[in-house]
Amino acid sequence: MRKSEQYGLNWRDVDLQARRATLRETKNGTVRHVPLNTIALEAFRTIARRSGRRGKVLGRRKDRIQLLRTANGEAVLKKAELDDFHWHDCRHHFASKAVMAGVDLRTLQQLLGHKTLQMVCRYAHLSQSHELAAVEKLCNPISEGSRSEDTSHPEKSELAIQGASES
């Protein structure tokens, strides 16, 4: 969720039973439903116990600003070694982690609330280790059961099979 979506979220739009938050005021003007994973659900439950589920989920504006300015908020950022932290970095991090976990781009587009896949690609950054793992997959021999039959160039298939059996 965008910062404005998080701060604008009201308890009446959070359904803990259905594990879903409904965003009524979004950047692109469309209502969006955000599923809550187990960690997010527990965070919402904790906030709900403290707030009594009235008004804004994250409280009053001055309380939110104070949260990051407190020694505790500063300590968290320092411990995480985040010298140049921007709230929006969380969206990029979410997108990158989701793609590297195997979430398809169309689903990620829905989750982020982007109108185009091009915008999703601007947000999803792959780590070097993820890129390396992707090209390493090409080093593994193809098993018999997963080989697709390409009948357009049978001579190439035969050469590939012969080369594989010779090595």
Catalytic residues: 2, 27, 88, 91, 114, 123
Tokens representing 148 are 């697709």
Tokens, residue 60: 């009053």
Task: Write out the H or E segment, with its range, that includes residue 23.
Answer: strand 20-23
Residue-wise over 58-92: b if at least 16 C-beta within 10 A, else e? ebeeeeeeeeeeeeeeeeeeeeeeeeeeeeeeebe
Q: The sheet that has 32-35: what strands, in order across it?
A: 14-15, 20-23, 32-35
What is the bridge-based pairing of β-strands 14-15 and 32-35?
unpaired
